[in-house]
Structure 1
Amino acid sequence: MSPHRTPDSSRRSDRSRRAIHDAALALVGEVGYAKTTIEGIAARAGVGKQTIYRWWPSKAAVLMDAFLDMGARQAAEADAAGGGEHGIPDTGDLAADLKLVLRATVDELNDPVAEAPTRALAAEGIIDPVLGAQFVESLLEPQLQLYVTRLRAAQAAGEVRADVDPRIALELLIAPLTHRWLLRTLPLTHAYADAVVDHALRGLLVQP
């Protein structure tokens, strides 16, 4: 007879959390944030509603956690595939490096899997200051710091003007993409990302 094994509650909890994360992301993509409910998430995940409330105070908190988990999984998959280098590359060509990263940002913003939860979190963060602060701290700030690091390296190399504030400079790059993505008035493309970099660098680079 095989020895009796005590069920691993931590593994069961991990499976339940993953199922809840997947259910939240799927429902927001299918029916939108407004129509997504804790009851719907619980039914999709195959768990009780109280299980969700035991771990999260609201559907916004569930979605935030699910989005962070999705990002962590994607990073782990990239590492496993040998593409685990994080940050903005520093090849010595600032324009090429920024275009590479902004093109990847365009792809992420246009990704149908991520677009709905990103829009939902951005909108909810406007009316919920606690969620908004978490959205900035957990999702936005780590990405913004990558631009600060790369621009400071370009300043140290004498490529970017010494009087340029990297925090303001990165907004010249990120804000146009975000504006176009939020308003949906014009297509968000690689060509547009390249043009944003070209226009921004005219004001940032040391002139010969």
Structure 2
Amino acid sequence: MSPAKAPDPARRSERSRQAILAAARDLLLEVGYGGVSIEAVAARAGVGKQTIYRWWPSKGAVLFDALLALSQGGDGIAALPDTGDVEADLTTVLRATVAELTDPALDHMTRALAIEVQNDPRLGAEMVERLLGPQLEATKDRLRAAQRAGGLDPALDLSVAVELVFGPVFHRWLLRTAPLTPEYADTVAALAVRAMRPAVPPAVPPAVPPAVPPAGPPGPG
């Protein structure tokens, strides 16, 4: 009879980690951000508080990893599509962003993190490093390709350009100024690309030949 295999600590740790992230997501949907605590997450996940603190320093850090796991599916930040039509590609990305922000689970977690980072600069820096920064760099790469193809202004400040693309969507979502819809994403993409196109020099009117004075009467013969 072969000896029983010893439990795999790595597999057990990964199960505990996934249980914690799932518990954080579920609690956020059930009781809201204010009702989520490390104690509640630990009880729901069936682990001790120290297990959570071994991996995450705060409630916000747990929620951030839960958001990453849900929004990326563990695949990291993907490159933007490049069909050769930069407006169509940005429209695809903005429509996907709108779909994420209007998904109830992602909406709750993203709003919770927007609150948390106001008082946790370390978490804010981590969010930029692991989520927002890579997303913006991927967008810059697509805009650079459009610049090389002659579709966008070669002097474009890409750091400003990516905010021009995403800023209106996040503004409307955060402040709830109006419904966030796919049609709104289409409009933002069209306006952003129009603003980033190469400047067209004004048409030069055709030169007008100088007027020829009329001939005078013939002189005496």
* TM-score when normalising by structure 1: 0.90
Cα distance in 2 for partners of 1:88, 1:14 equals: 30
Q: Quick check: 2:25–2:66 contact (8 Å CA) kept in 1?
A: yes
Q: Which residue of 1 aligns with 2:203?
A: none
RMSD value over aligned CA atoms?
1.7
Q: Which residue of 2 aligns with 1:22?
A: 22
Cα displacement (A) at 1:195: 0.7
Q: Which residue of 1 aligns with 2:119?
A: 127
- Closer, same or farther in 2 for the Cα pair 1:32/1:204, shift >3 Å? same
Cα displacement (A) at 1:72: 4.4
Cα distance in 2 for partners of 1:95, 1:72 equals: 23
Q: Which residue of 2 aligns with 1:73?
A: 73
Q: Quick check: 2:98–2:169 contact (8 Å CA) kept in 1?
A: yes
Aligned length, in residue pairs: 200
Determine whether 1:201 maps to 2:193: yes
- Closer, same or farther in 2 for the Cα pair 1:5/1:45, shift >3 Å? same
Structure 2, gaps ≥5 residues long? 201-221
**Secondary structure of 1:34 counterpart:** helix
Q: Which residue of 2 aligns with 1:40?
A: 40
Q: Quick check: 2:71–2:100 contact (8 Å CA) kept in 1?
A: no
Task: Compare CA radii of gyration and give the structure with the larger one.
Answer: 2
Q: Which residue of 1 aligns with 2:166?
A: 174
Cα distance in 1 for partners of 2:59, 2:42 equals: 11
Cα displacement (A) at 1:58: 1.4
Q: Which residue of 1 aligns with 2:9?
A: 9
Q: Quick check: 1:121–1:135 contact (8 Å CA) kept in 2?
A: no
Cα distance in 1 for partners of 2:122, 2:74 equals: 26
Deviates most, 26-35 or 189-198 = 26-35
Amino acid at match of 1:86: A
CA displacement, residues 120-159 of structure 1 (integer Å, 9 cap, x when unaligned): 1122112111110001111101111111011111111111
**Secondary structure of 2:131 counterpart:** helix
Question: Could you tell me which of 145, 149, 154 is aligned with 2:141?
Answer: 149
Q: Quick check: 1:155–1:161 contact (8 Å CA) kept in 2?
A: yes
Whose helix proportion is higher, 1 or 2?
1
Q: Which residue of 1 aligns with 2:157?
A: 165
**Secondary structure of 2:36 counterpart:** coil
**Secondary structure of 2:33 counterpart:** coil
Amino acid at match of 2:50: Q
Cα displacement (A) at 1:104: 0.7
Cα displacement (A) at 1:50: 2.3
Q: Which residue of 2 aligns with 1:96?
A: 88
Cα distance in 1 for partners of 2:169, 2:125 equals: 21
Q: Which consecutive segments of 4 or more residues in structure 1 shift more than 4 A?
A: none
Q: Quick check: 1:122–1:135 contact (8 Å CA) kept in 2?
A: no
Deviates most, 59-68 or 156-165 = 59-68
Amino acid at match of 1:147: T
Cα distance in 1 for partners of 2:110, 2:185 equals: 19
Cα displacement (A) at 1:65: 2.2
CA displacement, residues 69-101 of structure 1 (integer Å, 9 cap, x when unaligned): 33442538xxxxxxxx93211111111111111
* TM-score when normalising by structure 2: 0.85
Cα distance in 2 for partners of 1:54, 1:142 equals: 26
Q: Which residue of 2 aligns with 1:64?
A: 64
Amino acid at match of 2:14: D
